[in-house]
Amino acid sequence: MGLACYDGPSDYQITIGGRKLVCGAVRSTEDAVSVQCTVPLFGETRQIADGLRFDMPGQRMAFMARIGYRATTLESALGRRVELEEATSHLREGFAKALNITFSAGELTEAESFRASSLRIQKYANDDWTKGIHPVDN
């Protein structure tokens, strides 16, 4: 695999016509498993390059050309635009059925809101962090 998950399909991942649609990652510890997946709903898959750091001249352009052929969006796959609300509704229904669970809406606790705000300020709103490559931390 290359610089990004969507750089190309690999075994056991969801593809359409040989192009990757769903990209995922799994992290496990002694007491938890975290699964993260992304599904680009619409737009240009080449935009993924905007969030990556490249060390050599020409790498960004080469990556953008490659990813345009190796990845796809849900809009391209279905031939119609899918908005976030529709996609999350279908995902929620699918997980509920597959796992035999019921979801319920809730609010963040004060501690969760504080943590989210801190992460936004310290990391996600900081270009040095978001466009860099960092080890996994807690």
Cβ-based neighbours of 51, under 8 Å, separated by 6 or more: 130, 131
What's the residue count for the chain? 138
- The SS3 call for residue 16 is strand
Catalytic residue among 1, 2, 3, 5: 5
37 part of the active site: no
Cα dihedral: 113, 119, 120, 124 (round 10)? -150
**Residues identified as active-site:** 5
